[in-house]
Amino acid sequence: MAESPMNKPVPNDEDTDKEENIRCLTLLDHFGFECLPHQLVTKYMKEGFSFNILCVGETGIGKSTLIDTLFNTNSKEHKSSHFHSTVGLKIQAHELQEANVHLKLTVVKTVGYGDQINKEGSYRPIVDYLDAQFEAYLQEELKIKRSKYHDSRIHVCLYFISPTGHSLKSLDLITMKKIDHKVNIVPLIAKADTISKTDLPMFKSKIMSELAKQGIQIYQFPVDDDVTAQTNSLMKAQLPFAVVGSVEEVKVGRRTVRGRQYPWGVLQVDNENHCDFVRLRDMLLCTNMEDLKEQTHTLHYEHYRSVRLKQMGFSEVGPNNQPISFQEIYEAKRQEFAEQCLREEEQLKHKFMQRVKEKEIAFKETERELQEQFELLKRIQQEETMKLEEERRKLDEEIIEFYKMKAASESLQAQLKRDKERRK
C-alpha cells in the first residue's frame, strides 16, 4: 500500500524545506476524492449563485437597455428626469434561471449622474454605496452568531462612456479614479452605433491611453489559466467594449434578430461584426464571473478590510516590529481600553470633587454675605427701634406736659369763673 504522508512526518523547518519534503505518492487504490469537484458543483447548484452589477453612466446613456439585452428581460423602465439635484442609486434584484442554475442578480444603476451643474461630488454616492456593502460584509464577519447573509458587494462596475468620439470627460476620470480600488471597472462605449467604423478604434485607443495616463486601474482579465487565457487576451484587445443595446426583434432576411433598425440597415446586437455586445456578455457571464467575484473578495474587499482594521487599531506587527497575533492585539486593546476607562473615571472623579469644592466655597461665600446682610438689617432694625423708643418717650413727655397744661388751664378757667361770679 502507498505510504501516507501522515506516516512520515514532515520536518518542522522553514516553509521551503517543508515543500521539498512533500512527497508525491502514487495511489494504488481508489480513494474517492476525485469526486470532490462534483461535490462542489452539487453544493453550489443547490445554493445558487449571486452576481451584483453596478451601472454608472449619464441619464439616458442606455444602462437599462443594455441590462435588458444582457439578461433578455424587458423591464420597460421609465426614463429618468434630467433635473435631479444630486446623484442617486436605483437597486433592482432579479432571480434568473438557466437550465438548473439559479442566479440572484442585483443591478444598481445611477440616477441623475452627470446632470448637475456642479459635478464635484457626483462620485460620492457611488463610493459610499460600495463602502457600505463592504462594511456590511465586514460587520457580518465580525459577528459571533452569523445568520444567512446575502453578499451585496458589487462584483463589477460597467462604466458607460458617452460616444463622443473625442475623449473621456473629467467626470468619468474623477469617478473612475475614486472607485478603481473598490470595484472591478469594465469600461464600455455606450450607443456605439453612433460612432463610425473608422473613428471607433481611434476612440478606443484614446480612452485606454487616457486611463493609463491617469493611473486608473480597470479590471484585468485573468490570463493564468490556459483555457481562458486566449479568450481573455483577445477580450483585452477589444477594451473598452463598444456596446449597443436593444431588445427589439428585427427581421433580417428570413431571420429574426435583436437589433436596431435604421433607414440604411439593421444593427444586430448579437453580431460580433456589428458591436462588442457578445464579447461583453461572454466576458461577464461565461468566462470571468467567478474571477470577478474572487477579485472583489481577495483584492477590493481585502483592501477595505485592512484599512478598516488599521483604523480600529489592529496591525500585523507589535511595538517592537515583531509579528503579533489577532488575539494578542485584542488583549492589548482590551487592556488599553480598560486602562483608559480607569483613567477617565479618575479624571471624572477628580473633576467632580473639584466641582463639589468650588460649590462649597461658593455656598460659604453666599452664606457669609447673607449673614452680613442679616447683621446689617438687625442693626438697622435696632437703631429704628431705639429711634421709635426715643420718639415714644418724647411723646409721653409731651402728653404729660399737655395734661399738665390742660389741668392748669382748667384750674385757671375755674378760677376766672369763680372771680366773675364773685364780681356779680
Q: The sheet that has 265-268: what strands, in order across it?
A: 249-252, 255-262, 265-268
Q: How far is the CB of 181 from Mg ion (least distance, A)?
A: 27
Nearer to ligand GTP, 231 or 267 (CB): 267
Q: How far is the CB of 114 from Mg ion (least distance, A)?
A: 13
Nearer to ligand GTP, 10 or 171 (CB): 171
- The answer to whether 112 touches 88, Cβ cutoff 8 Å, is yes
By CB under 5 A, tell whether 64 contacts Mg ion: yes
Find the part of the chain contacting Mg ion (CB under 5 A) among 74-82, 99-107, 194-202, 277-285.
Answer: 74-82
Residue ranges in contact with ligand GTP by CB under 6 A: 57, 59-65, 79-80, 191, 193-194, 244-245
Q: Which of ligand GTP, Mg ion, none binds 23 (CB below 5-8 Å, type-dependent)?
A: none
Nearer to ligand GTP, 257 or 295 (CB): 257
Q: In whole angstroms, what is the distance from residue 306 CA to residue 385 CA? A: 87
Q: In whole angstroms, what is the distance from residue 21 CA to residue 13 CA? A: 10
By CB under 5 A, tell whether 69 contacts Mg ion: no
Q: In whole angstroms, what is the distance from residue 303 CA to residue 286 CA? A: 27
Nearer to ligand GTP, 188 or 218 (CB): 188
Q: How far is the CB of 255 from ligand GTP (least distance, A)?
A: 20
Find the part of the chain contacting Mg ion (CB under 5 A) among 57-65, 149-157, 204-212, 406-414.
Answer: 57-65
Q: How far is the CB of 88 from ligand GTP (least distance, A)?
A: 10
> Cell for 364?
460659604
> Cell for 10?
514532515
Nearer to ligand GTP, 88 or 201 (CB): 88
> Cell for 30?
481508489
Strands 255-262 and 265-268, sheet pairing? antiparallel
Nearer to ligand GTP, 240 or 245 (CB): 245
Q: How far is the CB of 245 from ligand GTP (least distance, A)?
A: 4
Helix (H) or strand (E) holding 337: helix 326-423
Q: In whole angstroms, what is the distance from residue 316 CA to residue 310 CA? A: 9
Closest residue (Cβ) to ligand GTP? 62
- The answer to whether 222 touches 232, Cβ cutoff 8 Å, is yes
Q: How far is the CB of 91 from ligand GTP (least distance, A)?
A: 13
Q: How far is the CB of 74 from ligand GTP (least distance, A)?
A: 11
Q: How many chain residues bind Mg ion (CB under 5 A)? A: 3
Helices 124-142 & 170-179, crossing angle to 10 degrees? 10
Helix (H) or strand (E) holding 241: strand 241-242
Helix (H, G, I), strand (E, B) or coil at 93: strand
Nearer to ligand GTP, 122 or 295 (CB): 122
Q: How far is the CB of 265 from ligand GTP (least distance, A)?
A: 14
Residue 34 identity (one-letter amino acid): E
Nearer to ligand GTP, 57 or 240 (CB): 57
Helix (H) or strand (E) holding 54: strand 49-56
- The answer to whether 245 touches 277, Cβ cutoff 8 Å, is yes
Q: Which residues bind Mg ion (CB under 5 A)?
A: 63-64, 77
